[in-house]
């Protein structure tokens, strides 16, 4: 495999060490996950400066709350990225609580709906595989993921934006995630 | 009305797990999941888990290497903690402040320097759930504020900011609806080993601004604003 190393169960053990105040373990957690965390935050915020601030806040939260991570409820990577995504989306929603929101959505809509696929083709086996799986979704499903996950819209906002009713949007999201999960072989 | 509520809760598992619900809906969903029968709650949890694992797997597609200085700043926090026998929260705070200080050129922090170290305030700020960080260029360096609205306080860290010209000071202002309020000055003379300062009362201010002022400072800003850090 030529892609970036995929952090696995070792993250669980590292987080337990971080919870005990082990700074070397903290460094290892950072090194294993920073490109994924920063990349996701940049994808949502689209601003390197804000993204650095938010990424640092995410790791401060990891440092503070590593003891709360429960491996029985999911992987360490999912725990960390959920935290990163939440902070990035909170920031987007706070920044754009005013009129700027509309213009940003306008800009986002000008992008091709399949930019997830295009960007993922850059490098790496794993990256390529995610791109292929995104490619198996319908355009409508992919658009839902783009708007709801990467642009930080709520599903009600997605439904208004696409002029589709709420149950249609919820179905698309559910189908998109099921297809993606199956394709990526996520347990 | 158990049936529709049940299917509705499961229906919302994916939007909830994608964080694609409003704050109000999120609280409502969490309340309903907490009060749901065990089987339903387990099914909801499992769907949420699967979505989060799937998006974590998909994160390889958006991975981007962050700038090296972000690693330096973030990791210094952990290193610093090992050197001091402090409480967890205090250590985390102090270490974070230390992280921001890496590479700092010390110059005096005048009126803002408290007789006691800012660790207590800093600890409260960094441990606050709503902690935020804002950085802006100032002169040739960077001014960073780590602050918490909940704690009504912040920690200011200056990195590589050159001293003000002789006979002048940097003056900090909290900007709010009532106009600028002085938050202290920093002069070149009072050289200190650290350039952190605490902001003990953010009040209703929405930004921290810097000007150069003559002498030991002014009651109102007279210079142009060199940097403005939003506190919202």
- Mutation pick from B11, B64, B87 vs chain A, by most beta carbons of A within 10 Å, is B64
Q: What is the pLDDT of residues B117-164, one digit of tens each?
A: 344 566 666 667 787 777 777 776 777 787 888 888 887 766 667 777
Q: Of the candidates B195, B209, B68, which has an alpha carbon nearest to the alpha carbon of residue B136?
A: B209
Given this model, what pLDDT does residue A114 score? 35
What phi and psi values does residue B113 have, to the nearest 5 degrees? Answer: -65, 125
Sheet strand arrangement including B153-159: B132-138, B141-148, B153-159, B196-199
| Residue B213, φ and ψ in degrees, nearest 5 | -125, 150
Find the closest chain A residue to B123 by CA distance: A64
Q: Determine the pLDDT at residue B161.
A: 73
Please tell me which residue of chain A has the smallest CA distance to B147.
Answer: A57
Of the two residues A104 and A148, the one the predictor is more confident about is A148
User: Which pair of tokens denotes residue B185?
Assistant: 């000055």
Inter-chain CB proximity B126 and A124 less than 8 Å: no
Query: Does B56 contact A77 at a Cβ distance shorter than 8 Å?
Result: yes
Residue A23 distance to chain B (closest CA, Å): 5
Domains of chain B, CATH where assigned? 2-61 (1.10.10.1320), 103-230 (no CATH)
Q: State the CATH class of domain A99-187.
A: mainly alpha
Query: CB distance B53–A74 less than 8 Å?
Result: yes
Report the residue of chain B nearest A182, measured CA to CA.
Answer: B54
Tens of pLDDT, residues A130-187? 999 999 999 999 999 999 999 999 999 999 999 999 999 999 999 999 999 999 999 8
Which position has the higher pLDDT, B51 or B231? B51
Please state, as a whole number, how many other Cβ atoms lie within 10 Å of the Cβ of residue B206: 14
Task: Name the residue facing B61 among A82, A131, A155 (closest C-beta).
Answer: A131
Q: Cβ separation of A180 and B54 shorter than 8 Å?
A: yes
Q: Which of B12, B17, B54 to mutate to test the interface with A (most CBs of A within 10 A)?
A: B54
pLDDT band at A59 (very low <50, low <70, confident <90, very high): very high
Q: How far B81 CA lies from chain A's nearest CA (Å)?
A: 8
Residue of chain B with shortest Cα separation from A86: B19
Residue B180 has pLDDT above 60, yes or no: yes
List the single residue in A with minimal CA-CA distance to B25: A154
Cβ neighbours of B133 in A, within 8 Å: 53, 56-57
Between B7 and B44, the higher pLDDT residue: B44
User: What is the CATH code of the structural domain delimited by A1-95?
Assistant: 1.10.1740.10
Closest CB from A34, A39, A86 relative to B71: A34
Which residues in chain A are contacts of B126 at CB distance < 8 A?
60, 64
| More confident of the two residues B127 and A64 | A64
Residue A76 confidence (pLDDT): 94
Helix (H, G, I), strand (E, B) or coil at B227: strand
Please tell me the total number of residues recorded for chain A in this structure: 187
Highest mean pLDDT among A60-74, B36-50, B151-165: B36-50
**B208, B175 Cβ separation under 8 angstroms:** yes
Closest to A35 (Cβ–Cβ): which among B21, B63, B91? Answer: B63
CB pairs under 8 A between A and B: 183
Q: Domain limits of chain A?
A: 1-95, 99-187
Strands of B207-214's sheet in order across: B181-187, B168-175, B207-214, B227-230
Query: SS3 for A64-97, per residue?
Result: HHHHHCCHHHCCHHHHHHHHHHHHHHHHHHHHCC
Which tens digits make up the pLDDT trace of B79-98? Answer: 554 433 334 444 455 555 54
Is the whole-model pTM more than 0.90?
no
């Amino acid at each position: 495999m030529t892609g970036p190393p995929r952090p696995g169960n070792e993250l669980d053990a590292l987080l337990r060490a971080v919870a005990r105040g082990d700074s070397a373990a903290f460094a290892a957690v950072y090194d294993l996950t920073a490109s994924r965390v920063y990349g996701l935050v940049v994808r949502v915020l689209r601003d390197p400066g804000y993204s650095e601030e938010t990424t640092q806040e995410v790791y401060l939260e990891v440092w503070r709350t590593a003891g709360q991570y429960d491996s029985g409820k999911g992987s360490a990577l999912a725990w960390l990225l959920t935290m990163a995504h939440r902070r990035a989306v909170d920031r987007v929603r706070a920044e754009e609580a005013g009129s700027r929101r509309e213009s940003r959505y306008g800009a986002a809509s000008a992008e091709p709906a399949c930019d997830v696929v295009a960007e993922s083709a850059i490098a790496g086996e794993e990256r390529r595989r995610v791109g292929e799986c995104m490619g198996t979704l319908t355009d409508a499903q992919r658009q839902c993921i783009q708007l709801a996950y990467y642009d930080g819209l709520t599903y009600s906002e997605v439904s208004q934006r696409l002029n589709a009713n709420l149950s249609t949007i919820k179905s698309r999201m559910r189908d998109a995630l099921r297809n993606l999960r199956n394709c990526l072989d996520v347990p | 009305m158990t049936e529709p509520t049940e299917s509705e809760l499961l229906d919302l598992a994916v939007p909830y797990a994608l964080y694609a619900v409003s704050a109000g809906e999120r609280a409502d969903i969490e309340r309903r999941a907490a009060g749901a029968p065990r089987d339903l709650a387990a099914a909801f949890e499992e769907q949420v888990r699967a979505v989060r694992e799937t998006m974590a797997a998909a994160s390889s597609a958006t991975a981007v290497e962050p700038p090296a200085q972000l690693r330096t700043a973030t990791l210094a926090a952990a290193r610093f903690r090992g050197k001091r026998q402090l409480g967890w929260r205090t250590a985390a705070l102090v270490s974070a402040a230390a992280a921001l200080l890496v590479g700092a050129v010390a110059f005096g922090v005048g009126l803002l320097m408290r007789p006691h170290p800012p660790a207590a305030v800093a600890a409260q700020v960094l441990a606050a759930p709503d902690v935020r960080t804002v950085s802006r260029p100032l002169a040739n360096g960077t001014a960073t504020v780590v602050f918490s609205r909940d704690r009504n306080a912040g920690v200011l860290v200056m990195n590589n900011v050159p001293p003000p010209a002789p006979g002048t000071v940097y003056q900090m202002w909290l900007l709010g609806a009532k106009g600028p309020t002085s938050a202290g000055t920093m002069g070149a003379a009072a050289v200190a080993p650290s350039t952190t300062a605490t902001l003990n009362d953010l009040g209703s201010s929405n930004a921290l601004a810097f000007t150069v002022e003559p002498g030991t400072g002014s009651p109102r800003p007279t210079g142009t604003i060199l940097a403005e850090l939003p506190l919202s």
